[in-house]
Structures are given as C-alpha cells and as structure tokens.
Structure 1
Amino acid sequence: MSVTITIKDLVKKYADTTVIPELSLEIKKGEFFTLLGPSGCGKTTLLRMIAGFNSIEGGTIRFNERVINEVEPGKRNIGMVFQSYAIFPHLTVKGNIAFGLENRKISKEEIASKVDDILKVVQIEQYKDRMPKNLSGGQQQRVALARAIVIRPDVLLMDEPLSNLDAKLRIDMRNAIKDIQREVGITTVYVTHDQEEAMAVSDRIAVMKSGIIQHLGTPQEIYQRPANVFVATFIGRTNIIEGTLTQEADQYRLQFNAGYSETMSNIRLPKPQASLNVKISVRPEEFIMTEDQTGMRATIVHSVFLGQNTHYFVDLESGQRIEITQESKTTQILEPGEIIYLKVKTDKINVYDAAGELNYTGSVQS
C-alpha cells in the first residue's frame, strides 16, 4: 500500500480550452500532498485525472512505474473522499464501511476484522450500528474516510472534504485527518481552497493558478518565501508596497515609496542592477512599531482586538491602507487618528520584481 505518483507533461483540454498545460509533479510515497488554489485553478480537475474520472489529453500519470492513463477508475486501487460524504443512507456505519470490502469478495470474518480495526482508527466504534441520519457532520465525514481507507488503497484522494462543516468542526476534523493519515501511511492528495487548512495538514503544498503550479514547497517555505506576489497574497495576509532597490557596494538599499528605507543583505538578483522598481510584501506581523521618526509615518484608522494580538488598519502618508499586527499588551489599544511610525523586519519581508513574478529575496535568516 502507498505509491509514488509521478505526473509528467500532463495536459487537460475542454474543446479548444486548455485547463492544465503540461504540468509535471512528483508526489512522494506516504506524503500528505495538497493542491491549493482559488476556484477554477485546475486543482479538482487534476485530482479527477489522478482518479480516472477525467480524460487525459497529453502526458502521463504513474503510480510507481505503472502508467495509469488508460486504467479504469475501479482498477486504480484508490480511495476517494468527497465534499458531500456520499455515504449510503440505508446502511449503518458498519455497513457503509464494509461496502467496498464486500465488493472484493473476501470472507465475512476478514471483513468484520478490517471494519473493527478501521472503526478504532477513525474513533467511531461506538457508532457502528447507527444510521447516517443519526450522525453529526463530523461523524459522517469519519465514516466516509473509514470507507475510503479500509480497502487499503494505494492512494487516498480527498476533494474539499471539510467544506460542509462549521468552523470549529473543520479544525477538529483536519487534525483528525492528519493523525489518521500518519497512522495508515497512505499517499494522500488533498484538494482545498482554504490556505489555513492546507498549512495545517500538508507535508507539501502546490499552489495553483490557471492550471499552473506557482509554488511547490513545505507550508513554511511557501509562507516565508512565496515565489511570487500571487502566492504571497493567497497564503496568509500581506501588504504589497511599491518601492525601489538601489545597489550600494555588496548590499542593496530598499526604498519604500512611503519615504522610509532599509539596507538589505539578502537580495539575490539574476544580474547586478544599479536601480530597479520593486514590489515589497510585508506581512502584518513583520512590521515593527517604533518611536523612531525615520520609519514610515502612519495614522491609525481602526483596530481589531483578537486576544493575544491586536490588528491595526493604518493609512500611510502615500494614502495606502495597510494592516499590521502587534502583540496585545496591558496598555490601552491605540485610538483612531493616532500617529505611529513603522519599520520592517528585513530578514522576513519579500522583495519582488515590478511585475510581481520573481522573488529577489534570499533564504530566511535564522
């Protein structure tokens, strides 16, 4: 059980429209891999191609060394968990989980043993005799997950499995799914548009846009050094500020259009340039509030208190509104109209070319 999935030059077309143009990707054996992106980016299309539900117009998909392009979905040995759960309303929990095993013509004793084992893994053994209508949404999702993995598939495919659950239950279930995946060690491909969900469960993430992978990496890599402005704005929250990068000996000076500058020691340009326009990505927590008036002057517009942190929305002198996050303290929250000065954590921010497509920033400093 569990395989490496190798995708090479994969193409998907609908009539004359190319949805996925020559996509290549390797998903490691036993990895929890997430396809992340906005609606229409091609993530579910790619998942359905792996499952065999969508045709392939070019390229190959391999499970280990086996090309599966023409293999029927039922013969790919995959488990599938859908957004709608798709459990049978007329069968008990135990009956739902046993369904796939019964189709494989194994003995009743073996079926009972496998069902009991998986009920313990997904922690719903106390509900085995209940009908689906008597289960909560989270319990139904566990039944769907148990049914998918009890057959010991080579690959587990999950398409927006938590989108029908409320916020708290989504957090509980994503933790449960990750724990279960680690326990069974199955290669898992997970589709979501929720970046927080992807960050919480994934070993690696592919951020997609228009059928193209924009950034492939660990959650930490993608958050700290997004490949381009699209990824920076899609993963977490960030502020994009216009600026200028000017060479000074072996370093560069980053000039914010708000009138503030910093020396940068981690800029990596394809070729030396005296000066160029850039886009600067600064996450809310990467601002430093200071009394030093050489920083960016800003005016408090309003604040949101969220316990440990307070989020401030402020206007720069340029007129741009940005968001900053500061640790909540015992002192009074700043009021609208108050003037503050801001600097940035130079080792954390990201600097891109003017088009926002190329990251000039080196690795995060420890």
Structure 2
Amino acid sequence: MSVTISIQDLVKKYGDATVIPELSVEIKKGEFFTLLGPSGCGKTTLLRMIAGFNSIEGGTIKFNDKTINNVEPGKRNIGMVFQNYAIFPHLSVTGNIAFGLQNRKLAKSEIASKVEDILKVVQIEQYKDRMPKNLSGGQQQRVALARAIVIRPDVLLMDEPLSNLDAKLRIDMRNAIKALQRDVGITTVYVTHDQEEAMAVSDRIAVMKSGVIQHLGTPQEIYQRPANLFVATFIGRTNVLEAALTNNQGTRTLRFGESGYQEPVERVNIPEEDAAKPLLAVKVSVRPEEFVISEDGTGIRAKIVHSVFLGQMTHYFVSLESGQSVEITQESTSARPLESNQTIFLKVKTDKINIYDARGELNYTGSDRP
C-alpha cells in the first residue's frame, strides 16, 4: 500500500479551452500532498484526473512505474472522500464501511475483522450500529474516511472533505485526518481552497492558479518565501507596499515612497540583466507581524483606525501617510494598547519581508531565513 504518483506534462481541455497546460509534479510515497488554490484553478480537475473520472488530453500519470492513463477508476485501487461524504443512508455505519470490502468478494470473517479494526482507528466503534441520519457531521466524516481507508488503497484522494463542517469541528477533524494519515502511511492528495487548513495538514503544498502550479513547497517555505505575489497574498495575510530598491556600488537599500524611510537589505537575488541598475521599482510583501512600531519616531508615518482584540494578539488597522490601509499585529500584553487616531511610525523586519519585481512575478529575496 502507498505509491509514488508521477505526473508528467499533463494536459486537460474542455473543447478549445485548456484548463491544465502541461503540468508536471511528483508526489512522494506516503506524502500528505495538498492542491491549494481559489475556485476554478484546476485543483479538483487534477484530482479527478488522478482518480480516472476526467479524461486526459496529454501527458501521463503513473503510480510507481505503472502508467494509469487508461486504467478504469475501479481498478486504480484508490480511496476517495468527497465534500458531501456520499454515505449510503440505508446502511448502518458498519454496512457503509463494509461496502467496498464486500465488492471485493472478501470472506465475511475477514470483512468483520477489517471493519472492527478501522472503527477503532477512526474512533467511532461505539456508533457501529447507527444509521447515518443519527450521526453528527464529524461522525459522518469519520465513516467516509473509514470506508475509503479500509480497502487498503494505494492512494487516498480527498476533495474539500471539511467544507460542510463548522469552524471548531473543522479544526478537530483536520487534526484527526492528519494523525490518521500519518498512522496509516498512505499517499494522500488533498484538495482545499482553505489555506489555513492546507498549512495545518500538509507535508507539501502546490499552490495553483489557472491550472499552473505557482509554488510547490512545505507550508513553512510557502508562507515565509512565496514564489510570487499571488502566492504571498493567497497564503496568510499580507500588506503589499510600493518601494524602490537602490544600488550604490553593490550596497542595496529599500526605500519606501516619500516617507524618507529606508533600510539596507541583504540576500537579494537580482537577475543579471537588472543587477547593475541603480534603481528598481519593487513591490514588498509585509505580513502583519513583520511590522515593528518605531520607538525613535522614524519610519513610515501611520494612524490607527481601529483594532480587533483576538486574545494573545491584537490586530490594528492603520492608514499610512500615502492613504494606503495596512494591517499590523502586536502581542496584546506587550505594551499599552494603541488608541484610535494615535499616530505611530512603522519599520519592517528586513529579514522577514519579501521583495518582488514590479509585476510581482519574481521574488528577489534570498532563500535564507532565520
């Protein structure tokens, strides 16, 4: 059980429209791999191609060394968990979980043993005789997971499995799913548009836009060093500031608008054709926690508009002297709370921020990050 999934130059078309153009990626054996992106980016289409539910107009999909392009869905040995769970309402919990095993013509004693084992794994053995209508959303989700895993598939495919649950239950279930996947060790491809959910469960994430993978990496890599401005704004919260990157005999300085605030920067990778230019227009991604309130009255002048207290952190929404609105965060207990209309000065943590070219397509920031 568990395979490597190799996708090479994969193409999906609907008529004349190409929704996935020559996508290539390798998903490691036993990996929890998430396809993340906004609605319409192609993530569910790609999942359905792996499952065999969508046709392939070009390229190959392999499970280990076996090409599966023309293998029927029922013969790919996959388990699937859908957004709506697809639990059979006329079957008990036990009946639902046993369904796939019965289709495989296993002996009754073996089916009973496997169902009993998986009920314990997903922690719903006390509900084994209940009908679906008598289960909560989280319990139904566990039934769907158990039914997908009990057949010992090579690959587990999950399409927005938590979208119908309330906020607290989503957190509980995503933790349960990650723990279960780790215990079973099955190669898992997970689709979601929820970036926090993706960060919480994934070994690696592929952020998609218009059928193209924009950034592939660990949650930490994608959050800390997003490949482009789309990824930076999609993953977590960020503020985008216009700035200029100056070059004075190899010493680079980041200058913010007309405020006069500037900071020397290190670890910037400028393309060779632009490296010698004395001035480059750039966009700077500054996450709320990457702002520092200046103690010496220097920096970007800003005014507090309002605040939101969220326990450990307080979020402040401020207006810069340019008129731009930004969000900053401060520890709620770190100092006296800031008041509405209070004037402050902001600096940035240069080792944390990300600097992009003027189009937001190329990250100039070095890969090293403390």
Q: 1:52 aligns to what? A: 52
1:1-366 to 2 correspondence within 5 Å? 1-257=1-257, 258-271=259-272, 272=275, 273-329=277-333, 331-366=335-370
Q: Structure 1 residue runs of 4+, over 3 Å off? A: none
CA contact (8 A) 1:299 1:316 kept: yes
Describe the superposition over 1:62-97 as per-residue Cα deviations: whole angstroms up to 9, x where unpaired. 000000000000000000000000000111101100
**TM-score, length of structure 1 as denominator length:** 0.99
1: CA distance, partners of 2:187 / 2:111: 23
Tell me the amino acid that sits aligned with residue 106 of structure 1.
L
1: CA distance, partners of 2:222 / 2:251: 25
Tell me the amino acid that sits aligned with residue 352 of structure 2.
K
1: CA distance, partners of 2:260 / 2:368: 25
CA contact (8 A) 1:30 1:185 kept: yes
User: How far apart are residue 356 of structure 1 and its match?
Assistant: 0.1
1: CA distance, partners of 2:293 / 2:336: 15
2: CA distance, partners of 1:314 / 1:329: 19
2: CA distance, partners of 1:41 / 1:260: 38
1: CA distance, partners of 2:50 / 2:155: 9
SS at match of 1:74: helix
2: CA distance, partners of 1:177 / 1:250: 50
| Percent of residue pairs bearing the same amino acid type | 79
2: CA distance, partners of 1:176 / 1:135: 17
CA contact (8 A) 1:192 1:198 kept: yes
2: CA distance, partners of 1:94 / 1:18: 43
Describe the superposition over 1:145-177 as per-residue Cα deviations: whole angstroms up to 9, x where unpaired. 000000000000000000000000000000000
2: CA distance, partners of 1:364 / 1:343: 21
SS at match of 1:288: strand
1: CA distance, partners of 2:60 / 2:163: 30
User: How far apart are residue 293 of structure 1 and its match?
Assistant: 2.1
2: CA distance, partners of 1:259 / 1:88: 65
2: CA distance, partners of 1:248 / 1:220: 33
2: CA distance, partners of 1:65 / 1:209: 28
1: CA distance, partners of 2:200 / 2:304: 32
CA contact (8 A) 1:348 1:364 kept: no
2: CA distance, partners of 1:267 / 1:122: 48
CA contact (8 A) 1:305 1:311 kept: yes
CA contact (8 A) 1:224 1:364 kept: no
1: CA distance, partners of 2:242 / 2:312: 30
User: How far apart are residue 290 of structure 1 and its match?
Assistant: 1.5
User: How far apart are residue 365 of structure 1 and its match?
Assistant: 3.1
User: How far apart are residue 331 of structure 1 and its match?
Assistant: 4.7
Tell me the amino acid that sits aligned with residue 30 of structure 1.
G
User: How far apart are residue 330 of structure 1 and its match?
Assistant: 6.8
CA contact (8 A) 1:3 1:155 kept: yes
Describe the superposition over 1:208-267 as per-residue Cα deviations: whole angstroms up to 9, x where unpaired. 000000000000000000000000000000000000001133331000114311000111
Q: 1:342 to 1:226 in 2, by over 3 A?
A: same
User: How far apart are residue 294 of structure 1 and its match?
Assistant: 2.0
User: How far apart are residue 329 of structure 1 and its match?
Assistant: 1.8
Tell me the amino acid that sits aligned with residue 142 of structure 1.
R
Q: Which moved more, 1:241-250 or 1:167-176?
A: 241-250
SS at match of 1:315: strand
2: CA distance, partners of 1:77 / 1:295: 59
Q: Which moved more, 1:356-365 or 1:135-144?
A: 356-365
SS at match of 2:105: coil
Describe the superposition over 1:311-332 as per-residue Cα deviations: whole angstroms up to 9, x where unpaired. 0011111110100001112754
SS at match of 2:11: strand
Q: What root-mean-square deviation, in Å, do the aligned CA atoms of Structure 1 and Structure 2 show?
A: 0.9
Describe the superposition over 1:97-141 as per-residue Cα deviations: whole angstroms up to 9, x where unpaired. 000000001101110110011011101011101111110000000
Q: Which runs of 5+ in 2 are unaligned?
A: none
Describe the superposition over 1:3-58 as per-residue Cα deviations: whole angstroms up to 9, x where unpaired. 00000000000000000000000000000000000000000000000000000000
